[in-house]
Amino acid sequence: MGVIAILFGLGLFLVLLWNFAVYALPAYIGFSAGWWALNHGAGIGCIAVGAIAGVAVFLAGRVALASRNGFLRWLVIAVFVIPAAWAGYAMVLDLSASGMVPSSVWRHILAAAGAVAVGATTMAQLVQVPEWEKSS
């Protein structure tokens, strides 16, 4: 029973890492704003500052993606995909360095594949047709 619980927990952890990588930009902005607020005396309020900043970036991206301007949509997609791909690269590189892959070359090859996978997943989620376009 313990092995099943460990595998379930590991799977849940990897799903959380994947979602964090996909939403890397709002998460990074939220953590950075919260850390800045903590270092400037906000105390426990730093959690609210970080949450508001992260949600604001996420909602600003969603609003920009809902516009009919194609250039703005692709610009926002690029702004979200580049940090997500970088986070995917770093995530796979760190996980493979934990003893699973001894070769440095193969770790970087796997990390590049992880970056492509996370970047493609992020792009696929952002390129989806908004609801208001489906009804037209």
pLDDT at 98: 81
From the list 106, 81, 80, 79, the residue with the least C-alpha distance to 92 is 106
pLDDT tens-place string over residues 7-64: 888 888 878 877 777 788 898 999 999 999 999 988 899 999 999 999 999 898 888 8
- pLDDT the model gives residue 116: 93
pLDDT of residue 2: 82
> What per-residue confidence (pLDDT) applies to 129?
59
For residue range 81-104, list pLDDT tens digits in order.
999 899 889 988 988 888 777 888
> For position 130, what pLDDT does the model report?
58
Instruction: Kindly report the pTM of this predicted structure.
Output: 0.74
Which among 83, 79, 87, 82 is positioned nearest to 114, based on CA atoms?
87
Instruction: Give the closest residue to 87 by CA, choosing from 23, 133, 32, 15.
Output: 23
